[in-house]
Amino acid sequence: MSPTVALFWTFAGIAVASALLCITRKSPVASALWLVATLFQLAALFVILDAQFIAVLQVLVYAGAIMVLFLFVIMLLNLGRPGPSDIKGPMGLAVATLLAGVMGLQLLVLVRAAPPADVTLPPGALLGASQTQGMVAAVARPLFDAYLVPFEITSVLLLASLVGAVVLAKRQL
Amino acid sequence: MPGTALPHLWLVPILPLAGFAVNGALALLAPDRKRLVSVVGVGVLGGAFAVAAAVVLELARLRPDAPLVFRYWPWLSVGALRVDLALQLDQLSALMLLVVTGVGALIHLYSAGYMREDPGYARYFAYLNLFVFFMLMLVLGANFPVMFVGWEGVGLCSYLLIGFWFNEKVNADAGLKAFIVNRIGDFGFLVAMFLIFRHVGSLDFTDVFTKAPATFASGDRTITAVGLFLFLGCTGKSAQIPLYTWLPDAMQGPTPVSALIHAATMVTAGVYLVARCAVLFALSPVASGVVAGIGALTALFAATIALKQWDIKKVLAYSTISQLGYMFLGVGSGAYAAGMFHLTTHAFFKALLFLGAGSVIHALHRAYHATHSPEDAQDMRNMGGLRAHLPWTCALMWIATLAIAGVPPLSGFFSKDEILGAAFARGAAHPAWYLFWTLGLAAALCTAFYMTRLMLYTFHGPNRTGDAERAHLREAPAVMTGPLVVLGILTVLGGALNLPELAGGHLAGALARWLEPVTHAAARLTAPSSATLDLGMEWLLIAVAVAIALAGVVGAWQLLEPARLVPARLAPAERGIGRLLWKKYYIDELYDAVIVRPIVWFSRDVLWRVVDQRLVDGVAVNGTARVSQALGWLGSRLQTGELGLYVVLFVGGVVLVLAAAVR
Amino acid sequence: MLLGPALFVSGLLFTLGVAGVLLRRNAIVIFMCVELMLNAVNLTFVALAQALGVAGQIFVFFVMAVAAAEAAVGLAIMLAIYRHRGTLNLQNINLLKG
């Protein structure tokens, strides 16, 4: 086993464990923190998978901004204090396990399926060719090139969510 | 003028129908215009009789060999079945036409007096007119379905008229009993029609009777079945064993109804049917034997019951059943003319007897009404010595009594003797007929006895009505006594219709010759074993019959002591054989226990409680509703408002979609 | 080379996210599990980008942007609900009578 693979499985293992802990903790704060841990492991995985730019974005945006926002709200609403558990009872547990298990098995089967042969490569070329420009440029150039319209729409989306969040969270309109 | 009457045959049934319409409207809108009702009700019958007489005269002049069929319009046209609304006039239906309209007209006239004080006067005449219409459709029908319409229609009118005073339960029950028992017979008639259509392919009388000898071999199982099923219909309509039980109960209706429907016309429909289908019965010796046998047995059976009845109308009812038995003995023996002859003479004297009894009841009723007494006006134990008060009725009823007993030279003697002679003659080839003849003879003895008993207890001896009432006993008005006189004359002279060869010379066998075009087809099919008797034998039989009749009359006169009777409310209960006869051999109770109760139990406890309430209502109707409700409840469980459930369903849906992708 | 294992891990994480959504009643925790699911999908995209092209990574970019917007608005809604209802327990937030 090459070191890359070993590292991959290490980080993958920790990610899965963190995710498991995330969904089973009674305290929302604990859940949030375990999610942060999972995100960090995923960032590591991204690096291993040759998506360095995305890995950094993961840490900066996801773990750094989104999860911080989560924690802000949790603290704001004083949900960190121990209270009655919000995990469902045995019936709910059974249903969850069953459904999630079935879905997991189905996904497992689907993973083994090969992608269709007529999938065309989108404009962006192979990663190998863009290694010459550097990682960031490799991702950024198609962004302003082929995917300009989604890019601009995303900025409008962010504006909308900004306004929406402000309005929704006001005490008095 | 030749050729003018026959096309108007349709007037004969339509006049009474029009009478029904008018009287019915009057019953609903202006029930107290009794004079108008009388004019219309009796008038249409008189008109019908006049047209009938004209039509028959013309038929007599024409002497056709085949029946005249008048088709009025196509009625049923289904697949291979073609049935027209058609009337048929031949010698047989002509005879019935005259009897129905003639006796009917007399009884309508009588009713105008008898029912004068009844508030339902218009309704009565409406129903009576309707009855005559249906009876005429029955006898004039040119095919089985039209006849069946008439058959059912007279059953309906019988029900309506028996239960005429429906405010009392016993009357309504009697009407219901008549209708239901008749239905059983009608089932037989229908099955016979189905069999005939299936094998012959047509239901027209001319078609069926010409094709039948070719389609069925003599003694074939199918034709025997047809005969037996037709006869089942006859036992219902003409009150023979086993379906006779409705007729005594039918006496609950007004007395003129009993006279018209349950003596002269409706109950004779069965005899007419057998005569009409003579060809079919001739093809099946078994069926004919059954007809004659049941007829003979019923004649004796009913006669014995009449010996111990106290209600004057019940005696006459059982007498009718018994005399109908004679008619069936006649037509079952192949002597169709004899049977029809007895039908005609019986119509005369039985109508006379009933109308006379009606006059008696009318007088007693008025007497009890005047003194507000609750006594039974129909019980003979409350009568006695009425000869002094109702002399005309007494004399006329004696004429009828002697006729029915078979005393010569009254009409009843000739008709009854002819039937017994035909039965005896047939005995040479089929010994069973000797038994039937013996039964008939025994019944004749009983008939003479009980009729004399009736006369003795009603008109002779001391009067038991009560001192206060006696003053009110009076002869009936002329409108009621007039028809009695006419019927009396017919009873005396009626024998001339079919005198035996011994006595009549060139007049002899007039009716037989008149009916010959209709009966010859059947006569040809019957084995020539029913040959005529030799002269010596015939005289001997006549002597025996007369001796029996006189023995009955004189025996009753000597043995019975009207002086020892007490009024009904004081009379002791019967015992022993007398009780058995008085209680009519407990046949009604037997039918009730064996047939009625199980059916009622089955209908109520199985069909109603289980099938109708639990299965149909519970499972099918309410059950479907409950299933819908349950499904709806299930559906509502999807919309609880709990997000947790929604998420579960969402994920479940995704799982299902993935399952499709995985496949 | 690592495509298979990466997809496997991604599937596993996604399943865990679904299990979390089904298991919990607290709205914020459920939201966090949804984020977990989104991340699993990101992993899938990145793994496939190695084989099929940079479009996969660009898609991850957009997913993150949308996730950020969605988180902002979603958490604002939860604040509003908490202020209105006093609880974030989904069992108690039930306006439809079931």
Provide the token pair at B130.
């309707």
Cα first-last separation, chain A: 61
- On whether any CB of chain A is under 8 Å from the CB of C42, the answer is yes
Spans of chain A below 70 pLDDT: 82, 113-132, 173
- Minimal CA separation from B640 to chain A, in Å: 16
* Token pair belonging to A81: 């204090």
CATH 1.10.287.3510 correct for C3-97: yes
- This complex has an ipTM of 0.91
Task: Give me the mean pLDDT over the B99-119 stretch.
Answer: 92
Pairing of strands B81-89, B68-78: antiparallel
Which token pair is A82?
Answer: 């121990």
Q: Greater confidence, B128 or B66?
A: B128
Would residue A75 count as lying in a domain?
yes
Q: Which of C41, C88, C89, C91 to mutate to test the interface with B (most CBs of B within 10 A)?
A: C91
**What pLDDT is recorded for position C96?**
56
Any domain includes A88: no
CB B484 within 8 Å of CB B356: yes
Rounded percentage of chain B residues whose pLDDT exceeds 70: 98
CA distance A16 to A38: 7
Between CA A46 and CA A66 the distance in angstroms is 18
Instruction: Give A144→chain B minimum CA distance, Å.
Output: 35
Contact criterion met (CB < 8 Å) for B651 and A103 = yes
Cβ neighbours for C60, distance < 8 A, ≥ 6 positions apart: A51, A54, A57, C42, C45, C46, C49
pLDDT bin (cut points 50, 70, 90) of residue B2 is low
DSSP letter string, A110-171: HHHSPPPTTPPPPTT--HHHHGGG-HHHHHHHHHHHTTHHHHHHHHHHHHHHHHHHHHHH-S
Beta carbons of B486 and B356 less than 8 angstroms apart: no
* Both tokens assigned to B607: 């069909």
- Taking the C-alpha atoms of residue B337 and residue B325, their distance in angstroms, rounded to an integer, is 15
CA distance linking residue B529 with residue B431, whole number of Å: 12
Q: Is C20 helix (H, G, I), strand (E, B) or coil?
A: helix
Candidate from A17-31, B342-356, B360-374 with smallest mean pLDDT: B360-374
C-alpha torsion B324→B330→B335→B338, nearest 10: -50
| Helical (H) or strand (E) element with B592 | none
pLDDT, position A51: 86
Q: Does A111 touch chain B (CB under 8 A)?
A: no
Range of the domain at A32: 1-81
The whole-number pLDDT of residue A131 equals: 64
Q: What is the pLDDT of residue B269?
A: 93
What is the C-alpha to C-alpha distance for residues B410 and B415, in angstroms, rounded to an integer? 9
| Residue B308, helix vs strand vs coil | coil
Pairwise CA distance, residues B137 & B64, whole Å? 21
Q: Using CB atoms, pick whichever of B644, B652, B659 lies closest to residue A106.
A: B659
SS3 of residue B85 by DSSP: strand
- Look at residue B202 and tell me whether its pLDDT is greater than 60: yes
Q: Which chains pack against A, by 3+ Cβ pairs within 8 A?
A: B, C
A117 belongs to a structural domain: no
Give pLDDT < 50 ranges for chain C. Answer: 98
Task: Single out the residue in A81, A104, A125 at which a domain terminates.
Answer: A81
> Cβ neighbours of residue A169 under 8 Å, at least 6 residues apart?
C76, C79, C80
What is the mean pLDDT of the segment spanning B377-384? 86
CA distances from B276 to A36, B94, B326, B404 (A): 109, 12, 17, 25
pTM higher than the cut 0.90:
no
Whether the pLDDT of residue B529 is over 80: the answer is no
Give which of A32, A83, A36 is closest to A58, Cα–Cα.
Answer: A36
Report CB contact under 8 Å: B642, C98.
yes
Peptide bond into B242 cis (omega under 30): yes
- What phi and psi values does residue A170 have, to the nearest 5 degrees? -70, 150
**Which one of C12, C22, C25 has the shortest CB-CB distance to A95?**
C22
Chain B to chain C, count of Cβ pairs less than 8 Å apart?
29
Residue B150 pLDDT > 80? yes
* b/e burial code for range C23-61 (CB count within 10 A of at least 16 → b): bbbbbbbbbbbbbbbbbbbbbbbbbbbbebbbbbbbbbb
What pLDDT digit, counting tens, does each position of B480-526 carry? 888 999 999 988 888 888 777 766 666 777 888 888 888 888 877 77
Mean pLDDT of chain B: 89
C-alpha B481/C-alpha C62 separation (Å) is 119
The whole-angstrom distance between residue C93's C-alpha and the CA centroid of its chain comes to 21
Q: Is A142 contained in some domain?
A: yes
Say yes or no: A118 contacts chain C, CB-CB below 8 A.
no
If one counts the domains in chain A, the total is: 2
Distance CA B363, CA B595 (A): 40
Using CA coordinates, name the residue in chain C closest to B646: C22
- Distances, alpha carbon A153 to alpha carbons A129, A166, B92, in Å: 28, 20, 107
Q: Kind and range of the H or E element at B76?
A: strand B68-78
pLDDT of residue B571: 78
Structure tokens at B11: 């007037």
Q: Hey, which residues does B69 pair with through a beta bridge? A: B88
Residue B443: other Cβ atoms inside 10 A: 28
Final residue of a domain: which of A44, A63, A81? A81
pLDDT, residue B272, reads 94
The two three-digit tokens of residue B658, written as one number? 């993935």
Q: Over the stretch B605-651, which tens digit does the pLDDT of each residue have?
A: 888 888 888 888 888 888 899 999 999 999 888 888 788 888 899 99
pLDDT digits (tens, 9 = 90+) for B427-478: 888 888 899 999 999 999 999 999 999 999 999 888 888 777 777 788 888 8
pLDDT at A124: 39
Cβ pair A136, C45 in contact under 8 A: no
| Alpha carbon distance A49, A40 (integer Å) | 14
Element (H, E) at B377: none
Please report whether residue A114 resides in a domain.
no
In a domain, A141, yes or no: yes
Distance from CA of C97 to the nearest CA of A (A): 21
